[in-house]
Chains A and B, each alone.
Chain A
Amino acid sequence: NAGVTQTPKFRVLKTGQSMTLLCAQDMNHEYMYWYRQDPGMGLRLIHYSVGEGTTAKGEVPDGYNVSRLKKQNFLLGLESAAPSQTSVYFCASSYRAGAYNEQFFGPGTRLTVL
């Protein structure tokens, strides 16, 4: 099993450009999450999904959109990138939420917006 994979691993964008980050999991998990990690701030939840076809906003959703058309995939989109979106992005999945269900994380995508 590959677990959770993320594409791409690195990306540099210019302000105003758009891009999509892909997350895929092969564990048949219901829940999927997108986080961003910035120095000294831990991980902050951008959006999450509790199942195929559903998405919801997390703590810092502004400037991002998501889609979950297939259970195994969770896409994060930036329509018009800004320097404030320079960060490391992590995708995670879990069988369910809480109730001692741990999250499984991808290796991350390092995004720089110039």
Chain B
Amino acid sequence: AQSVTQLDSHVSVSEGTPVLLRCNYSSSYSPSLFWYVQHPNKGLQLLLKYTSAATLVKGINGFEAEFKKSETSFHLTKPSAHMSDAAEYFCVVSPSGTYKYIFGTGTRLKVLA
């Protein structure tokens, strides 16, 4: 069965330090992979998506994610956290050839001043 695991439910970082949010997936063949961000009381906004053109994907607001097929991972990173990055982040996998978008349970990022 297809699944997504976000390895940390909560992550705290200091402002200006790197961010790492971890995501592992299980899926056959070449899945579509996405990261979304949800600020409090808001809808979900796309941060970035893996399109198979490159394994390192750049998104909005300085976020990046690297697709590692051998590790079935799609971790989200940012070199320097900003207070405005405090939000919940969702890793999503869409197995090829299906209508499904499978969501991880989310990682809540806290940024400390």
In whole angstroms, how far apart are the Cα atoms of A90 and B103 in the complex? 13
Contact pick for A98, options B32, B42, B46, B105, CB 8 Å: B32
| B67 contacts chain A at the CB level, 8 A cutoff | no
In whole angstroms, how far apart are the Cα atoms of A4 and B96 in the complex? 25
B-side contacts of A100, CB under 8 Å: 32, 49-52
B-side contacts of A90, CB under 8 Å: 43-44
In whole angstroms, how far apart are the Cα atoms of A88 and B50 in the complex? 28
| B98 contacts chain A at the CB level, 8 A cutoff | yes
| A79 contacts chain B at the CB level, 8 A cutoff | no
Q: Which residue of A33, A92, A103, A106 has the most chain B CB atoms within 10 A of its CB atom?
A: A103
Q: Which residue of B9, B98, B101 has the most chain A CB atoms within 10 A of its CB atom?
A: B101
Question: Do A31 and B99 touch (CB < 8 A)?
Answer: yes
Kindly identify, within residues 37 to 53 of chain B, every residue whose CB is under 8 Å from any CB belonging to chain A.
41-46, 49-52
In whole angstroms, how far apart are the Cα atoms of A106 and B41 in the complex? 12
Question: Do A98 and B94 touch (CB < 8 A)?
Answer: yes
Q: Which residue of B34, B51, B103 has the most chain A CB atoms within 10 A of its CB atom?
A: B103
Question: Do B95 and A98 touch (CB < 8 A)?
Answer: yes
| A105 contacts chain B at the CB level, 8 A cutoff | yes
Interface size class of A (residues with CB under 8 A): 20 to 34
Kindly identify, within residues 26 to 48 of chain A, every residue whose CB is under 8 Å from any CB belonging to chain B.
31, 33, 40-45, 48
Question: Do A98 and B96 touch (CB < 8 A)?
Answer: yes
In whole angstroms, how far apart are the Cα atoms of A4 and B44 in the complex? 11
Kindly identify, within residues 1 to 33 of chain B, every residue whose CB is under 8 Å from any CB belonging to chain A.
9, 31-32
A contact set with B: CB distance below 8 Å: 4, 31, 33, 40-45, 48, 50, 90, 92, 97-108
21 pairs of residues in contact across A and B, judged by CB atoms under 8 Å: A31-B99, A41-B105, A42-B90, A42-B103, A42-B104, A98-B94, A98-B95, A98-B96, A98-B97, A98-B99, A98-B100, A100-B50, A100-B51, A100-B52, A102-B34, A102-B46, A102-B49, A103-B101, A105-B43, A105-B45, A108-B42
B contact set with A: CB distance below 8 Å: 9, 31-32, 34, 36, 41-46, 49-52, 90, 94-101, 103-106
